[in-house]
């Protein structure tokens, strides 16, 4: 025999799950949402040093760099030609 308490527990769980799924942004339509490096746990000082190394040719010819973390655009550089 099925307990009456079980359906009462399932409903709040389903509501919670549906709220979590609809709250997530899967992909941007036109542009990525942006954030500062520190807002997503990156060290902006190290990122700037890495960018300077790339611009100086330390890693060979790299014409662009894009960092997306936690669904947010954090860093973007392109060489102008």
Enumerate the H helices of the chain as residue ranges.
Answer: 5-23, 44-55
Q: How many residues does the chain have?
A: 81
Please give the structure tokens belonging to residue 27.
Answer: 């992909």
Of residues 66 and 7, more confidence is placed in 66
pLDDT at 79: 79
pLDDT at 18: 47
Q: Which two tokens stand for residue 61?
A: 């010819």
> Residue 31 sits in which domain range?
5-78
Q: How confident is the model at residue 10 (pLDDT cuts 50, 70, 90)?
A: low
Q: Is 38 helix (H, G, I), strand (E, B) or coil?
A: helix
Name the domain count of the chain.
1
Kindly report, residue by residue over 13-67, the tens digit of the pLDDT. Answer: 444 444 444 455 556 668 889 999 999 999 999 999 999 998 899 988 888 989 9
DSSP-based helix, strand, coil % in the chain, nearest 5: 45, 15, 40
Residue 11 confidence (pLDDT) above 90: no
Contacts of 60 (CB under 8 A, 6+ apart): none
């Amino acid at each position: 025999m099925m307990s009456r308490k079980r359906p009462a527990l399932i409903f709040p769980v389903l509501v919670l799950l549906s709220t979590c799924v609809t709250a997530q942004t899967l992909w941007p339509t036109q542009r990525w949402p942006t954030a500062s490096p520190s807002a997503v746990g990156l060290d902006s000082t190290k990122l700037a040093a890495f960018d300077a190394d790339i611009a100086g040719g330390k890693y060979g010819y790299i014409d662009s760099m894009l960092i997306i973390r936690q669904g947010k655009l954090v860093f973007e550089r392109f060489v102008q030609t």
